[in-house]
Amino acid sequence: MRWNPGSSSLKQVIKLYFRGHLVYANTFQNTDLFWALRGGGGGSFGIVTSVTLRTHPEVPVVVTNLNITTAGGDPHFWKASPTLNDAGGGGYYLAAPDYPLNETVNVSVMSSVLIFANATNTTHIDSFYNPLQSKLSQVTGTTAN
């Protein structure tokens, strides 16, 4: 990826403490608070009144969504993730390796939204998604869409 994710683009935060005074947090002052406000801690640090972000030029992106459901604990399920990462996809995953669907059935579920920055042609993305879906659909009881 050419640029870092969102929290890495955060340059400064101005926060209002409960007693009414403003605190500036960045890489030079109040660094522990800056770290916490970037995602390193809970949300009980006060009210953020201002943020300064580093901006980047707009780039084309391709966004994909893949949902895989299979029998709970199936080892084939986990072989899909490295393929997606190796192809340059980055994004959000939700994985439940052995989720009880009801009293008698467990399933493994992975849902991913991947973002391919600086991409306009989906041929490269299709070249790994299509075989992946085909391979996963051969596993009994698995759906991939």
CATH 3.30.70 fits 61-144, yes or no: yes
3-class SS of residue 138 = coil
* Strand blocks (E) in the chain: 10-16, 22-26, 47-53, 61-71, 90-100, 106-117, 143-144
pLDDT for 31-65, tens place per residue? 988 888 887 665 566 788 888 988 878 888 888 88
Rounded Cα gap, residues 98 and 84, in angstroms: 21
Q: Enumerate the domain spans of the chain.
A: 6-53, 61-144
Contact call for residues 62 and 125 (beta carbons, < 8 A): yes
pLDDT in tens, the chain (145 residues): 455 556 678 899 998 887 888 999 999 999 988 888 887 665 566 788 888 988 878 888 888 887 777 776 666 666 666 666 676 666 777 777 777 778 887 777 777 788 888 888 888 888 877 777 777 777 667 777 7
Quote the percentage of the chain above a pLDDT of 90.
10
